Amino acid sequence: MNPLFALWAIGLGTALSLMGDATLYAVLPTHSNDAGIALAMVGVILSANRFIRLATNGPAGWLYDRWDRRKIFIASLWIGVASTAICAATVGLAPLVIARLLWGLAWSGIWVGGNAIVLQVAPEAERGRWVGIYQVWFFGGSSLGSLVGGMLTDAVGYRDALWIGAGISALGAIAAMLGMPRAQGQPGARAPHSDSLRGIFTLSSRMWATIIAHGINRLVVAGVVSATMGLVVQENFSALPAGIASITGGLLAARTLIGLIGAPLAGARSDRIGSRWGLLAFALALGALGIGLFGAPNIAIFIGGMIAGSLASGAIQTLVTALVGDLSERAQYGKNMGVLHTAGDLGSAIGPLVAYAILPFTGLPAIFIACAAMMLGIALWAFVISSEARNPR
């Protein structure tokens, strides 16, 4: 198996699979009538896929440690295509919930498995760089989905934009089928047959810090920011000449593109210095600054906060994934990636629900400040671990 070829194949499939999901985040808050749902249900729709992943991430990781990786990955891509097609073809709450649950199942297979494969094939001395490259595919796909999805919605309408998104995702699945080497389907070292719940309780304190850092990052970025970006634009920048959906999609795309820069830089830098905890603490603190400024009505402050938070998000996502590789046995990459992404999905699922539930009472700025406080707390934990690593007892 050519590791770089496998990285390209899973990266392209992952990137294009995100088209429908990213489009919904960009346009559903302002096009809920087109979807046939009330605005209050937007948080439910945007969180449903994440709630099911709380149950499916663990089994996905278990399967990737034992079964044909190539078949699992490609099947997950096609399930993702089907979920976007259902969103395009139906109206109302029930079918949208079903579609989002299918997407959650698909994304468990795509993201848990993709990261586990990268950890498996990456040279140990370059783990951070390889993880960073895979994150570039993720951020690139999310950016493409937000930008193109928003523009297509303004140009051809909500439903046709989703049909086009399903077609783009299908191209990614076909590319993975053609480009992913057959040898990738052979499972690697098999994880011990042990109770997965017991395994969670025996994780080290450093692994827990890694998992919680990821959960908070996803709560803030994928949960709160992605779900409320349309409202931020509507409240503060609706006077701009472009359509709200286009502006929202463009900002989500820009945020993701900036994260695309932070991901490989943090990964490669952590390889060179031989430690990731100090960088993680810095990235979390930078993320806290970014989200704290996010709701500012001043466009210059808003852009500054978005840049800081986006760089931090990409760096955090790369660093925590590489840390799972540092802290895990090779035979348990799938299982531990499942635990990591379960925490991330819990955070990102809670984010939209909580944000829309308390929004009428607090307003957006208070929500963003609370997110900043959580990021600062875990940044302090990472800093303590970094200090302990530099000065062992």
Work out the pLDDT band at 330, boundaries 50, 70, 90: confident
Angle subtended at Cα 130 by Cα 129 and Cα 136, rounded to the nearest 5 degrees: 90
> What's the pLDDT score for residue 16?
95
Instruction: Please give the structure tokens belonging to residue 257.
Output: 């593109």
Give the residue from 70, 168, 177, 65 showing the smallest Cα distance to 116. 65
Contact at 8 Å (CB) between 280 and 382? yes
CA 134 to chain centre: 12
**pLDDT at position 290 over 70:** yes
Six-digit token string for 319: 């660093």
pLDDT band at residue 44 under the 50/70/90 scheme: confident
More confident residue, 247 or 327: 327
Tens of pLDDT along 208-234? Answer: 999 999 999 999 988 888 778 878 777
Q: How far apart are CA 346 and CA 344, in angstroms?
A: 5
Higher pLDDT pick, 124 / 202: 124
pLDDT band at residue 81 using 50, 70 and 90 as cut-offs: very high
pLDDT of res. 179: 77
Q: Residue 159 to residues 47, 91, 155, 245: CA-CA distances in angstroms?
A: 20, 10, 11, 14
What residue ranges define each of the domains in the chain, with the CATH number in brackets? 3-187+194-390 (1.20.1250.20)
pTM of the model: 0.77
- Asked whether the predicted pLDDT for residue 241 surpasses 80, the reply is no
- Identify the residue whose tokens are 């199942």: 105
Q: 3-state class of 123 per DSSP?
A: coil
Q: CA-CA distance, 132 to 260, in Å (whole number)? A: 9
